[in-house]
Chain A
């Protein structure tokens, strides 16, 4: 069981990294809009501008 003395702190370090990454993402505005991304996923980008209006 002594492996836990190594693995749990390691897990906590990774957790700290995840929290840091999330804070950075929030700070850079990636979570400012919580509504549009849910819609954007269903949009195709394949509609092209009309050739001859």
Chain B
């Protein structure tokens, strides 16, 4: 599959050259009619430049989904109450736009929407994926705008007004204000400090000196009380928790220097240090700001809980039905769910029978039959026919909500590596305070007039900021780099473990393979029909089905049309094609007199007319198109590769041979997988496990580090350290490369920070470093550490191309 060209729009492999789009005079191949429509829409709106500007596309992103009519309901007036703030005829809505991946997307969205009549203003924030939309509600409906977004290939989701203020946005605003106050205050304070220094050499009138000190006091005060507030609150928090962090010496230095300068200003003391204070705060604030930006980038909300659930549901109130936003459901509501729709809340089935796909929650890939009284879980998909359910639990309290909260929390825990660095830093802080006390006592005996200045220098210059920043800065940068490459790190420890990895263990289904069946062989069992004819009949029947196995027939084009298609839960599908009644599914269902090997039944789909068998379609999972490359690349990096699967021998062997994996095992229970993993670890191997199913969850936790694809069972995602977005496997290789590079940078950073502190301390104690130089030295040592870490986020675009 790797020789197939990539779709011009969505970058998935193009199977055949049936669809092309003419962009700027070149015929570009696209993979499906949907992508063709989107690419033409973009071209016809005069926005072909989108394709020049965007980052290398992630395969599959931007592929449109067929959901016509779904957006119609958002045009209604009562929807505006739920999803907009209305002011006269002007309405403002916030829409979460799923499927955005770079700044070019926000340009495309803004320009396309602004061209719609009635849209007054459209602004997209690529960090939070939120669209702020101002529109004239008399001219255009919210639903029309959403439909346009969906046509462009995005997944819009209107948000209720109260949930719109993203916490990271507020944090960024405050940080920006603090940064600006610190930078302006620093510039002013420095300017007046130059005047004061010049005055010391050339002479200055006492009045002017007092005036300049007073002015410096005015410009520095906001810097200390506004910009430096996080350091003071951090220091107080550290003291309360009996765990002094690096904020404590910073706060003491800032507070002490400021207090002494204020005293000098009003009582004509020997000197003021307002410039040092302001500069110190400014550089620290810059460091914090850069770190915050790196942290925000690593939060990707594309796996957010709400994007799985439907936007609207059909609620049954007695005899009438109404379409309401899904977030307005309460326990006790009765809801109608059509075939193919996701289930909006946890509850019980009250009317109808169907089967549901719970793969997202449990990893169980086979559909589960459900009848009245059975439990339904939010996030699963209703497959066969319309059902009614009674809602018990909604929103964040559902099983889905609980699982995603767990994984959210995991993302915020700090890696052990960082915790160790933090603890070391806090010992150093205590040591510094002790040293500073001795220095203060010593110098006040030798030269009392210099004691304060030198103590201040010691406090500032030895601040272990660089040491404390060395690891988190590198991890934050690695996290942001990895998220750009579509890898979400949920556990910081993983980066360290991955960098030391010597062996990678893969699961088969859904990991090395797409977890989606395709037809490997068609065996006609009746001489009246050719294989092609039988395939066409089967495809016609399956095209009306939502069953996961039906996807195998998706790629087959057929002119046949199936009528009266009917699903028998757990058995198969029936339909009339060309005047004849056909059955497709299990052998016993499609033919009375079928004699088949029961072992085969799971993989084979039979076609029959109720009496005898006509064909058998042998389905198997196809490997991901970059699986072979990935395994070659891993071996080249010196890593061992093992395939552990719960699947049957033949299937595992075939895949292993196809991909060049020499070590493999089949029919493994989770327990066996865990034992084999432990055996590898006993041999001294550091093992990274890549798997997706719910039964992989214990194995994922048992490995030194684990990676799960984003489409996998949520439980697997929760136990995985890294979640891989998108359809590719190559990111596994990238993860190893980035992790190794991260550890190199951490070592450089720690080395530099220790070297700096060891050199600076004796100089400061000896009184050779004035406070302003100490501030510069300390700030630069931290900045060097942060900038060195930021090299990771720029780690060459070649890396990205290799991964794409």
Contact = CB atoms under 8 A, between A and B. Distances in A.
Contact of A4 (B104, B169, B208): B208
Given A19-B180, A50-B44, A12 B218 contact: yes
A31 B126 contact: no
Interface string B169-199: 1001100110011001000100000000000
Given A12-B219, A15-B188, A40-B107, A31 B124 contact: no
B127 A19 contact: no
A23 B125 contact: no
A12 to B, nearest CB: 6
A43 B208 contact: no
B789 to A, nearest CB: 19
Nearest to B40: A53
B46 A36 contact: no
Interface string B114-130: 01000000011111000
Contact of A31 (B44, B45, B104, B173): B173
B104 A50 contact: no
A14 B209 CA distance: 22
Interface in A1-53: 1, 4-5, 8-9, 12, 15, 18-19, 22-23, 26-27, 29, 31-36, 39-40, 43, 47-50, 53
A33 B126 contact: yes
A32 B173 contact: yes
A27 B103 contact: no
Contacts of A31: 172-173, 176
B47 A47 contact: yes
B208 A1 contact: yes
A49 B177 contact: no
Contacts of A8: 211, 215
B48 interface: yes
A1 B205 CA distance: 10
B44 A39 contact: no
A22 to B, nearest CB: 5
Nearest to A44: B49
A5 B212 CA distance: 9
Interface string B276-296: 000000000000000001000
Interface string B431-442: 000000000000
A22 B178 CA distance: 11
Contacts, number: 74
Contacts of B218: 12
A49 B103 CA distance: 21
Nearest to B43: A50
Interface in B100-155: 103-104, 106-107, 115, 123-127, 132
B40 A47 contact: no
Interface string B16-52: 0000000000000000000000001001111111000
A32 B208 contact: no
B49 A43 contact: yes
Contact of B106 (A36, A47, A50): A36
A3 to B, nearest CB: 12
Given A36-B107, A36-B126, A26 B211 contact: no
A48 B173 CA distance: 36
A29 B132 CA distance: 11
Contacts of A48: 46
B172 to A, nearest CB: 7
Given A39-B107, A47-B48, A53-B40, A19 B219 contact: no
A41 to B, nearest CB: 11
B758 interface: no
Contacts of A27: 173
B1 interface: no
Contacts of A49: 44-46, 115
A43 B46 contact: no
A32 B94 CA distance: 14
A29 B177 CA distance: 12
Nearest to B130: A32
A49 to B, nearest CB: 4
Given A49-B44, A53-B44, A33 B53 contact: no
A26 B177 contact: yes
A34 B519 CA distance: 48
A40 B546 CA distance: 43
Contact of B126 (A5, A19, A23, A35): A35
A39 B48 CA distance: 16
B44 A12 contact: no
Contacts of B176: 26, 31
Given A8-B215, A47-B49, A19 B181 contact: yes
Contacts of B219: 12, 15
Contacts of B126: 33, 35-36
Interface string B345-359: 000000000000000
A32 B125 contact: yes
A21 B574 CA distance: 70
Contacts of A36: 103, 106-107, 124, 126
B790 to A, nearest CB: 15
B184 A12 contact: no
Contacts of B293: 34
A19 B549 CA distance: 62
A35 to B, nearest CB: 5
Contacts of A47: 46-49
A29 B46 CA distance: 29
Contacts of B132: 29
A34 B179 CA distance: 14
Interface in B195-244: 205, 208, 211, 215, 218-219
Interface string B375-395: 000000000000000000000
A5 B169 contact: no
B184 A33 contact: no
A5 B103 CA distance: 49
A15 B189 CA distance: 12
A15 B223 CA distance: 13
Given A32-B169, A32-B173, A5 B211 contact: yes
Contacts of A29: 123, 132
A1 B198 CA distance: 15
Nearest to B211: A5
Contacts of B43: 50, 53
A14 to B, nearest CB: 11
Contacts of A23: 177
The 4 closest A-B pairs by CB, nearest first: A53-B44, A49-B46, A47-B46, A36-B103
Given A15-B184, A19-B180, A50-B44, 8 more contacts: A1-B205, A31-B176, A32-B172, A36-B103, A39-B104, A47-B49, A53-B40, A53-B43
Interface of B: 40, 43-49, 53, 103-104, 106-107, 115, 123-127, 132, 169, 172-173, 176-177, 180-181, 184, 188, 205, 208, 211, 215, 218-219, 293
29 contacts: A1-B205, A1-B208, A8-B211, A12-B215, A15-B184, A15-B188, A15-B219, A18-B184, A19-B184, A22-B177, A23-B177, A31-B172, A31-B173, A32-B125, A32-B172, A33-B126, A34-B293, A35-B126, A36-B103, A36-B126, A39-B103, A39-B107, A43-B49, A43-B53, A43-B107, A49-B46, A50-B44, A53-B40, A53-B44
